[in-house]
Amino acid sequence: MTEQNQNVENNETAEMPQAEQGEAQEKPSYEDLEAKIAELEGMLKDEQLRGLANEQNLRRRHTEEIQAAHKYAGQKFAAEMLPVKDYLEMALLDQSGNFDALKTGVQMTLNELNKAFEHTQITEINPQPGDKLDPHHHQAMQVVESEQEPNTVVSVLKKGYQLADRVLRPAMVTVAQGGEAGN
C-alpha cells in the first residue's frame, strides 16, 4: 500500500460515524471487563504484598545493623589495643633485669597506646595552671589557697579524656580559692 492510499484510508476511518467504527472494534463483554478487573486487582494485591515484604525486610535488616553496631562498637578500639597488650606481655616476660631496656619497652607501649587513642579520637583533657575551671571538663578535687585568680586550676591530679566531643573522664584538678579567702 502506498503512503497516499494509507492517508486516504485513515481519513475515511476518521470520517466514518462512530457507530460504524464501533462495529469495526467489538465492545468487550461484561464478563471480559470483570475478568480484566479481577486480573488488575490481583496484580495490585501482589504489588501490595511485595511492598509489605520489602518493608519488613528493610526493618529486619535495619534492626540487625543496629544490633551489630552495638555489639561491635568497640571493635576498632579493641584492635588498636592488641599491640599494647602484646608489648605489656613482652615486658613482663623480660628477665634480663636491664632497666633501660624495660624503660624503652614501656615508652614503646605508651607510644602505641597514644597512637591507638589518636586513631579512635580519644584526646587528653590536660588543663594548665591558671586556666579557668570548666565544670564540663574538670572536676575540682581540692580547693587550696593561692595567689591565682579564684576558680582557676592550680595543678592537675589526673588528666581527663574525651572521645570525640564526649567526656570519658574529667580532669581531676586542684583549684585556687583565692588569696583573700583565708583572711
> Model confidence over 147-177: pLDDT tens digits?
999 999 999 999 999 998 999 999 999 999 8
More confident residue, 45 or 25: 45
Whole-prediction pTM: 0.59
50: pLDDT strictly greater than 50: yes
Please give the pLDDT value at position 105.
Answer: 86
Nearest to 121 by CA among 66, 168, 172: 168
Strand order in the sheet with 153-158: 138-144, 171-176, 153-158
- The x, y and z cell numbers of residue 21, run together, are 467504527
Cell (9 digits) for 41: 486487582
CA distance 130 to 128: 6
> What pLDDT shows up at residue 181?
42
Average pLDDT value for residue range 67-89: 88
Per-residue pLDDT reduced to its tens digit, 123-147: 999 999 999 999 999 999 999 998 9
Q: Which amino acid is at 158?
A: K
Confidence at residue 37, expressed as pLDDT on a 0 to 100 scale: 95
Q: What is the pLDDT of residue 41?
A: 94
Question: Which has more pLDDT, 50 or 1?
Answer: 50
Burial 37-71 (b: 16+ CB within 10 A, else e): eeeeeeeeeeeeeeeeeeeeeeeeeeeeeeeeeee
Residue 13 has pLDDT above 90, yes or no: no
Residue whose cell numbers read 633485669? 97
Q: What is the pLDDT of residue 94?
A: 82
Residue 6, pLDDT above cutoff 50:
yes
Collapsing DSSP to helix, strand or coil, 166 comes out as strand
The alpha carbon of residue 168 and the mean position of all alpha carbons in its chain are separated, in whole angstroms, by: 19
**33-42 — which CB contacts under 8 Å span 24+ positions?**
none
| Rounded Cα gap, residues 62 and 92, in angstroms | 45
User: 121 — alpha (psi -120 to 50), left (phi > 0) or beta?
Assistant: left
What pLDDT score does 95 carry? 83
